[in-house]
Structure 1
């Protein structure tokens, strides 16, 4: 039985990691900002701490493993906010973990760092990264990931995972945005909706993260994590429409036009509504309009990771 800290424990992935660890008998210290979700974790047996890593790391004495999931995960925000939450807080947590004698540090990175405005297929972890990242979020996650891997040592092995398109119960990003567009009655089909997208059900992503916290000989490595199956955006809309009983109008939108519209909307919001995310962002256009699929053979081989949840089952879990 290990004593494990989960940061971002009231977010979609962190919450699921905490619950799976508790079910397996580990002692869980759960750090998060949402007291309501935290109360549920406490009732399940976790030690819940209301906290924000931008205010400094929590006490780490006696912690065996850190699962660092806390992040500003958004298509919208300022560079200062992304750096404070995703980079500086990670640096401080790494230093505190090393000083406290933590045995392993597992970081939730992001495959958004692969995006370069082109279609990219079956990428392995050593695929080239773009010289300029597609978003402030991607840039901050790439910098934080590099710091985590550089901190790897025999005393505290450090590992990073890049889970693609996490969805399922507790999702506050991918499916909520898609379903909101569908309920408005119009879904933009960028370049015909043929971009291929990997997804990962939250239970699979959590399992991969836990496996990385237990596997030997993987310090300093990074692993892609997906469901193992790519879907076109059209297929995602088809499944969601069937489950929700919706029939939205599908608006054909060339990629260049979509990117231009998103740029105009972002400019307007920066000037007049900086606290409100535009209805369409350049990150969303890049995510939905260009194919990005990942090779997960390294996670299968080194972690023993096997995805279990297919798309329809996973979406049904969310809408239930």
Structure 2
């Protein structure tokens, strides 16, 4: 079996290389920037000819995405929707049998606390960020493309972290290095994470899952944001000063910073509304369906996963 891994230079993409390689898959990898990876072909999924990428491939594992809480809606749409649509078309034309998409549970976020969320939970009428909006549209394209000829599935992994992570832990560490520990609502929001190896395991299993299916994925462990932050500080030797903020005030501050950002060069502000929701409102996933349908079982506990990040 031969697999194409998109976004192969990222955290999940590199974990997929390890996961599929360990299970005997032949690999082709791609990202926009040239990098030394198996059978690598540099490509921009939004505009390049994708035929050579999918030629002779049995399964596509689509990990490439523009993520985060900052950027224009147009940029998110191009990277996450246009690229996915073009890849689906090329995979279908090439006779690819399986297409697995890395989606996101950010789809569920609506500004309220949401605990033990299942895959059939209601989604907000309007996404809270351009990222969530674009990933929701891309996921809809993927699941709507499922046919007997090309089975399409998706996972919604919660907050992937580990080696090569460029988002979650680096952002936290940068904040703590500045001597700040933001505690919105005293850091009481409950969250779960997903180690890169567990997310990769789920992607592999989803390739054999029921066509048209989507599954929540996490470590199965739930922490308050404060407990997570304190553990990261302990591992990294950080001594930040706690700053306590009510959710409403933090959200308004983030909105002001976002509106001011274009006047200050366009750089991502220190606080975004998506970040406030992410660390100030609870969101945890029910992973029972992944256990039942895919045989998924998380293997990496948080302390072990953080050790990898600080090694």
Q: Structure 2 length as normaliser, TM-score?
A: 0.97
Distance in 1 (alpha carbons) for counterparts of 2:80 and 2:249? 31
Aligned pair partner of 1:158 in 148, 152, 162: 152
Aligned pair partner of 1:51 in 25, 30, 43: 43
Distance in 2 (alpha carbons) for counterparts of 1:290 and 1:93? 34
Distance in 2 (alpha carbons) for counterparts of 1:48 and 1:243? 35
Shift of 1:61: 1.9
- The answer for the alignment partner of 1:309 in structure 2 is 300
- The answer for the alignment partner of 1:262 in structure 2 is 254
Distance in 1 (alpha carbons) for counterparts of 2:168 and 2:228? 11
- The answer for the alignment partner of 2:136 in structure 1 is 142
For the aligned residue pairs, the C-alpha RMSD in angstroms reads 1.0
Structure 2 unaligned blocks of 5 or more: none
1:111-133 deviation digits (Å, cap 9, x = unpaired)? 00100000001011000000011
Shift of 1:23: 2.5
Structure 1 unaligned blocks of 5 or more: none
Q: How does 1:7-26 map to 2 (within 5 A)?
A: 7-26=6-25
Distance in 1 (alpha carbons) for counterparts of 2:32 and 2:91? 20
Distance in 1 (alpha carbons) for counterparts of 2:22 and 2:116? 34
Kept in 1: contact 2:46–2:86 (CA 8 A): no
Task: Confirm whether residue 235 of structure 1 aligns to residue 227 of structure 2.
Answer: yes
Shift of 1:58: 4.5
Q: Structure 1 length as normaliser, TM-score?
A: 0.95
Distance in 1 (alpha carbons) for counterparts of 2:195 and 2:262? 33
Distance in 2 (alpha carbons) for counterparts of 1:144 and 1:214? 21
* Structure 1 SS opposite 2:208: coil
1:178-204 deviation digits (Å, cap 9, x = unpaired)? 011111111110110000011000010
Q: How does 1:197-276 map to 2 (within 5 A)?
A: 197-215=191-209, 218-274=210-266, 276=267
Shift of 1:214: 2.8
- The answer for the alignment partner of 1:73 in structure 2 is 67
- The answer for the alignment partner of 1:173 in structure 2 is 167
Aligned pair partner of 1:300 in 264, 280, 291: 291
Distance in 2 (alpha carbons) for counterparts of 1:237 and 1:58? 44
* Structure 2 SS opposite 1:161: strand
Aligned pair partner of 2:111 in 110, 113, 117: 117
Shift of 1:19: 2.0
Distance in 2 (alpha carbons) for counterparts of 1:63 and 1:241? 44
1:120-166 deviation digits (Å, cap 9, x = unpaired)? 01011000000011100000000000010110011101001000010
Structure 1: which 4+ aligned runs deviate by more than 6 Å?
none
What is the count of residue pairs matched by the alignment? 309
Distance in 2 (alpha carbons) for counterparts of 1:273 and 1:121? 38
